[in-house]
Structure 1
Amino acid sequence: MADEIVALDTGLGGDDDDFDAVRDESDPSLPEERYLDRELSWLAFNQRVLELAEDPTLPELERANFLAIFASNLDEFFMVRVAGLKRRILTGLAVPTNVGRAPVDVLNDISVTAHELQERHARVWQEQVSPALARAGVSVVTWADLDEADRERLNTYFADQLFPILMPLAVDPAHPFPYISGLSINLAVRIRNTKTGRQEFARLKVPQMLPRFVRVDPSETLRSVRFISLEDVIASHLGDLFPGMEILEHHEFRVTRNEDVVIEEDESENLIQALERELLRRRFGPPIRLEVSADMDQVTLGLLVRELDITDQEIYRLPAPLDLGGLFSLAGIDRPDLHYPKRLPTTAAALTPSDSNGPVDFFEVISRGDVLLHHPYESFATSVQAFLEQAAADPHVLAIKQTLYRTSGDSPIVEALIRAAEAGKQVLALVEVKARFDEQANITWARKLEKAGVHVVYGLVGLKTHCKLAHVIREEKGALVSYSHIGTGNYNPKTSRIYEDFGLLTADPQVGRDLTRLFNELSGYAIEKKFKRLLVAPLHLRKGLLKHIDTERQNALAGRPSGIRIKVNSMVDEAIIDALYRASQAGVPVEVWVRGICGLMPGVPGLSENIRVRSILGRYLEHSRIFSFVNDGDQHVFIGSADMMHRNLDRRVEALVRLIDPTHIAELTDLFDMAMDDQTGAWDLQADGEWVRHSTDDAGAPLDDLQDKLLQQITHRRRPRNRR
């Protein structure tokens, strides 16, 4: 589950700073009700994911994958956002909202919308995606659909693979109601003792370490294959688990718990120890959602409600199977005809070695000029990963400094740092152990790095280190030269294949000096210095962006060229939104390209009629952050790690780097032009918060798919020349 959540990067947050009061910077010239609700905006994002699953033009297994993404996203939403709201309400802490409504009303709206979306989600599986998969030869069947030969095979599977590890737990005066782990699928079983006539209740947990869907007949080819859910197999063998008992009822249920970790950071306490204590507490968070199969009887439901202390609002009745996140396993079936066409990333042109010269020398290439990378269209493995591996092996490299926010379990980046330390180089790894749902993995990596001699630090008290930075110091002709990478995404080879991100490789001495100071401050004390080519949060990023936005406003008022383009995952910070509103009122054209949450209302007369907001979802997760300002013709463009949220601007260490190569600026300008083109398929945000999808033109022809178009353009542009 953790890997899936990490891969999705919903940007939900949940830190206490995300519930801070709306900034007291109100502008009397702006309407009081000028923000869209953050939580409902996130649910609208997940609805867009669901609309992809509903799209019959997409490959069938990709539609199943989007159903799984929707389910996993919603799990995280409840575990983090809903849990955080409820925790603060119950503890008496204020929970202001940016739309001026009581938190209880917000929770009611969340409940109504979430119920509607989950029911729609279940229908899409039952009525659209499951039948489409069956027509393509991939069927999910029930026990009732099987013949005797099928059942005999599954009887053997149950006896050999399931029966020994199942643990039925009775509930009676001698056996209290058991702990129900979060997100596990369970069977609630009511039985009757045939000797005494007494009715009993038992709970049976479906093992989470086994495949969710079992092949009915392993001899079937993937061209015509049947699967059955694990819980269906178990439910069909309850008699073996409760011999001598009469099975009266059995129903599926699933509990979502509060997994919002709150770490009280104290400089006198070891952060790792505090985090490990909170991770243990996370497992036992209070229930916040109960999903039950639609046919569950009232007696069983009543027992669950009493024992779990669940309200009616928190009950979700859904048709089986519950937890369609299990479709991730089906989505991985090797049926290329049911997936997106396979596209391999290409090596960036600047990093493509010629046949005669052998492997590329990163230091020689980067010293000639900045290299802009666009993942996953351009390979992470042959760029960032290879750069750090070369640095680890190069005898002239004296030091490597690296931030690690999320990384994969088999990270070649971490292994390169270990090799560098073992070779005697100075290596600093800033590991953010508070990266949500990756905490335990990051603790494990931090300890492995320390054992290898890497200097491991955990950032600053009260702040998360979210910036994506690598800094290599190399001795060349008696002088020290800096080589740097600043990115918009994590140093994670796994997610780099599905996340859209930018990265900059540079030997600019000014960037080197900026990163030297920044890393020194991250491993030492608070950030206070200003930087030349970087904008760094929490002290300078917000001020810098507000200054750039206001410059565009002043230029528009003076009749000079102006314009603002911003690409982020989330846009909810009130101060930034208000600045964009003022820029719009002055006549500045503003384009916002947002993947997820957006609290800005576009197209409101007198407020935001010059603002347009679009969202693009597809095979890759749009993850890069771009900030572009016309600046009276001297265009300023930044890329980096920060979204426009309180936590990013106030309680995280974030970094944006300014691009200075005209070809890089032109590349991002072209990218925005394509994204905002009416011939590109996208969702457009309306002033009332509704997202309207545009996928075909007036004649019904499909609009351009931005990601497919980029795949074609970048592959052609980057194809190595003079090769046979």
Structure 2
Amino acid sequence: MYKADFLEAPRPKPVKRPELDLTGPDRFLNRELSWLSFNWRVLEEAENQKVPLLERVRFLSISASNLDEFYNVRVAGLRELAMAGNTTAAADGLTPAQQLVKINENARELMQSQQRIFATLKEEMAREGIQILSRHDITDADRAYLKEAFLDQVFPVLSPLAIDPAHPFPFIANLGYCLALQLERGKNKKSLQAVLPIPAQIDRFVKLPTEGDGHRVLFLEELLLLHIDSLFPGYQVKDHFSFRVLRDSDLEVEEEAEDLVREFEVALKRRRRGEVVRLTVSAGAPEALKSIVMDELGVRDDEVIELDGMIGIVDTKELVLDERPDLLWPTFTPRVPERVQDHDGDMFAAIRQKDMLLHHPYETFDMVVRFLKQAAVDPNVVAIKNMLYRTSRNSPIVEALCEAAEEGKSVTALVELKARFDEAANIRQSRRLERSGAHVVYGFVDWKTHAKIATVVRREGDKLVTYSHFGTGNYHPITAKIYTDLSFFTCDAQLGRDGSKLFNYISGYALPEGLENLSLSPHTLKPKLLDMIRAEAEHARAGRPAKIWAKLNSLIEPDMIDALYEASQAGVQIDLVIRGICGIRPGVKGLSENIRVKSIVGRFLEHSRIACFGNGHGLPHSKAKVFISSADWMGRNLNRRVETLIEIKNDTVKAQIVSQIMAANLADVAQSWVMDADGKFTRDPIPEGEFAFSCHRFFMENPSLSGRGSAGAADVPKLTHTHDA
């Protein structure tokens, strides 16, 4: 049972830091090292005994995937700057070269920890009947089975490549994983060097026959080493090692590109050929063979990481077995809001009754899909507009938009081609939409359109009514099952007009005038937030209650951080829930003693962006100012992207955000890490058997306030700031 009224969480005692220049770069923490700190928290979940075993394996894989992308993009960019001799310092004062040194040291330690954790997980999986074998562990019966599996399923897609003057070193694509081989011919002892790329199209773990409920697998590279004689007849392996390549995957787009679609199709092909930014090799690699690989790939010693264990640990995701539900999170089925059920599934009727905020994944994202599907077939709907930053390959939303266009409705789709790593999928979706008759626009060349809005114009009697959806996350039905995001549905006329003006801006480039609620980056969103922070500081100086609560993925923009510092010094109590990157120093006497930062890492990925301002009344309060947004507080989001911020004015939705969502996040203990003045996060130990409040569990068990229907919201728990058992 959760109490509705309780005291605020205690604040850490402020610390003095006389060695820091708090008027200079020392007041900021480094962005890249802060991101690595977040990935350490992800990896820590792989050791959390309160997490089911195979979910811990999943966290291990996620930490590896995160690190790959970090190198593909962030490290690649810093490397390019450093190689060009750029010495421009980041906000925290570190040059690109200095950052690379610190990143390299931290990332090496993180990768070694991944190997140590994987070794522990292997032992635990073995105790649960999941065995990961080497070629030295298999039986004669296994050998017979594997020979047939190799010839039927693996051999046809392999391309063994000799290395000699007639066979130059092959191109190894980004994320490419290979065996480097030193071979010797049995008859004449002639040596041969070769590379064997391991196809990504084949599972990394080869399943072996087993009796009962057990699960036995063999590394794919072990299978290959068993059958080298089939690939190089007459040769024996004298030495070998495995290696994996990461390349620069950032895209450069010509600002004057006349056809963005064609430009991105070319750029995607170029991505495969980016420069190598990291080479991971197995421990004990023979120096001569390793030198050849390094020289051919053009990497330096400091870009090589030697690991004693599994190369490409991201592939451990294959070990998360659906057939072992006892080792996974308990099944959770997202709720259909009661109000939608009261209206027999009619989204328009539910929205007409009152504004509605859905909290994903706790409330099903299917309601967003249903909203657009109903619009597609409703004869009274005349126009649909939708912004697609990311969506799934076989997107039901794209399908609904195509159906609407084919039905003769006016359909406009903004497809963002610069959604990193989803560019190819978005190109395919845009072609499909165009074929159906939809108007497809691609936004701005120099700014990403990161806003998430859909509008549906419906004829009701003698007037047109605009139904709007504003989201903090993407229109992606798959990620919506694990990302915590907000979907706000309204037929408020002001927001309808604002949404229409925004679409017109993106398609026609004419800056909208007279926006009534919506704030827009890179124009008015950042000034709006700064004004709200400064207004809260004025309330504090005047002796009125002053509080700020914010929930973000990242906080790094210097002007926003400085404004928060100024508000803290004025006496504003500031609580920040920052999932990932955080450049602010909390709890420093004279600078940020009223700022508290926490990070939540757990079953779901925190992704919603919320800002709450006490407005002279403190928090929680019905007169507080409450906003949801698509934007994190980063330079790119506030200064170089098209993002939205809207104020929530409906009382029920405000109460849901402040007294339920934000309060539960601030009250969480089970999945929370608290940040200190040096950017280090610590998890408070929870005594054995003691209750620890989990916001994820709370949201899974309790419906959202604004989604309640005829049952009413009176019995829905509202939290203020802490918890009780």
Provide the secondary structure at the position in 2 that maps to 1:631.
coil
TM-superposed deviation, 1:679: 4.3
Indicate if the aligned counterparts of 2:134 and 2:218 stay in contact, CA closer than 8 A: yes
What is the CA-CA distance between 1:252 and the residue it aligns to? 0.9
Cα distance in 1 for partners of 2:44, 2:217 equals: 25
Whether the 8 Å contact between 1:239 and 1:245 is mirrored in structure 2 is yes
Higher relative contact order (CA 8 A, sep 6+): 2
Conserved 8 A contact 1:430-1:457:
yes
Equivalent pair of 1:404/1:432 in contact (CA under 8 Å): yes
Q: Quote the residue 2:199 is aligned against.
A: 207
Deviation at 1:719, TM superposition (A): 8.3
**Which of residues 210, 220, 225 in structure 2 aligns to 1:230?**
220
- Offset at residue 461 of structure 1 (A): 2.6
Note the 1:562-641 alignment, pairs <5 A. 562-633=546-617, 634-641=623-630
Out of 219, 224, 231, the position equivalent to 1:241 is: 231
The amino acid that maps onto 1:244 is: G
Counterpart residue number, 2:527 = 543
Amino acid at match of 1:241: L
- Residues 246-257 of structure 1 mapped to structure 2, 5 A cutoff: 246-257=236-247
1:658 aligns with 2:642: no
In the other structure, the counterpart of 1:454 is 438
Which residue does 1:523 correspond to in 2? 507
Deviation at 1:694, TM superposition (A): 2.3
Q: Contact between 1:59 and 1:340, CA under 8 Å: does it hold in 2? A: yes
- 1:405 counterpart letter in structure 2: Y
Give the match's secondary structure for 1:145. Answer: coil
Deviation of the 1:303 alpha carbon: 1.3
Partner of 1:20: none
Q: Which residue of 2 aligns with 1:6?
A: none
Counterpart of 1:293?
Answer: 282
Query: Which residue does the alignment assign to 1:58?
Result: 51
Contact persistence 1:190–1:300 (CA under 8 A): yes
| Structure 2 residue matching 1:209: 3-state secondary structure | coil
In the other structure, the counterpart of 1:19 is none
Give the Cα separation in 1 of the matches to 2:516 and 2:597: 31
Question: What TM-score, normalized by structure 1, do the two folds share?
Answer: 0.92
Say whether residues 1:360 and 2:356 are aligned partners: no
> Are the aligned partners of 2:86 and 2:96 in contact in 1 as well (CA < 8 Å)?
no
Deviation at residue 198 of structure 1 after TM alignment? 3.2
TM-fit CA distance, 1:29: 8.1
| Residues 1:148 and 2:140 are matched in the alignment | yes
Partner of 2:107: 114
Structure 1 CA distance, aligned partners of 2:655 and 2:260?
44
1:545-566 Cα offsets, whole Å, 9 max, x none, are 0000000001100011211111
Displacement of 1:94: 5.3
Deviates most, 236-245 or 581-590:
236-245
DSSP-derived class of the 2:284 partner: coil
- Given that 1:254 and 1:292 are in contact with CA atoms closer than 8 Å, whether structure 2 keeps it comes out as yes
Q: Secondary structure at the match of 2:515?
A: coil
Classify the secondary structure of the residue corresponding to 1:655: strand
CA 1:258–1:695: 2 relative to 1, 3 Å: same
Contact 1:460 1:526 (8 Å CA) reproduced: no
What is the rounded CA distance, in whole Å, between the counterparts of 2:121 and 2:707 in structure 1?
Answer: 37
List per-residue Cα deviations over 1:150-197 (Å, max 9, x = no partner): 111111101111112211000001111111111121100101233443
Counterpart for residue 13 of structure 2: none
Question: How many residue pairs end up in the alignment?
Answer: 685
Return the match for 1:260 from 242, 250, 262: 250
Does the Cα contact within 8 Å between 1:348 and 1:718 map onto a contact in 2?
A: yes
Distance 1:611 1:717, change over 3 A: same
Task: Pick the aligned partner of 1:329 from 318, 328, 335.
Answer: 318
Distance in structure 1 (CA, Å) of the matches to 2:317 and 2:353: 44
Q: Deviations over 1:565-599 (max 9, x none)?
A: 11110100000000000000001001110111000
Indicate conservation of the 8 Å contact 1:530/1:540, yes or no.
no
Q: 1:193 aligns with which of 178, 185, 210?
A: 185
Partner of 1:694: 684
Ranges in structure 1 where 5+ consecutive residues have no aligned partner: 1-27
Superposed CA deviations along residues 2-26 of structure 1, whole A, max 9, x for unmatched, are xxxxxxxxxxxxxxxxxxxxxxxxx
Deviation at 1:247, TM superposition (A): 1.3
1:77 and 2:75 aligned: no
The match for 1:125 is: 118
Per-residue CA distance 1:654-683 (angstroms, 9 max, x = gap): 011111112221222222222222745400
Q: Which residue of 2 aligns with 1:41?
A: 34
Question: Matched residues in 1 for 2:571 and 2:399: separation?
Answer: 52
How far did 1:320 drift? Answer: 3.1
TM-aligned CA deviation for residue 265 of structure 1: 1.8
Q: Is structure 2 residue 551 aligned with structure 1 residue 559?
A: no
**3-state SS of 1:470 partner:** strand
Percent identity of the aligned residues?
44
TM-score by length of 2: 0.92
Distance 1:213 1:170 in 2: 25
CA distance in 2, matches of 1:333, 1:151: 27
The 3 A distance-change label for structure 1 pair 233 and 602 is same
Q: Which residue of 346, 359, 362 maps to 1:374? A: 359
Q: Secondary structure at the match of 1:504?
A: strand
Q: Report the Cα offset of residue 319 of structure 1.
A: 2.3
After TM superposition, the structure 1 stretch with the greater mean CA deviation from structure 2, 568-577 or 316-325, is 316-325
Does the CA-based 8 Å contact 1:695-1:702 persist in structure 2? no
- 1:292 to partner: Cα distance: 0.6
Instruction: Indicate conservation of the 8 Å contact 2:340/2:709, yes or no.
Output: no
Aligned amino acid, residue 460 of structure 1: F
* Alpha-carbon distance, 1:462 to partner: 1.0
1:32 Cα offset (Å): 4.0
The match for 2:97 is 104
Q: Which moved more, 1:430-439 or 1:84-93?
A: 84-93
Q: Report the equivalent of 1:179.
A: 171
2:82 is matched with which residue? 89
- Superimposed CA distance per residue, residues 522-561 of structure 1 (whole angstroms, 9 cap, x where no aligned partner): 1111435342111111100000000000000011000112
Cα displacement (A) at 1:337: 0.5
Partners of 1:708 and 1:574 in 2: CA distance: 35
Aligned to 2:285, the other structure's residue is in SS state coil
Q: CA deviation at 1:137?
A: 1.5
CA distance in 2, matches of 1:95, 1:347: 51
Matched, 1:136 2:128: yes
For the Cα contact (< 8 Å) 1:433–1:443, is it kept in 2? yes
1:473 is matched by which residue type in structure 2?
V
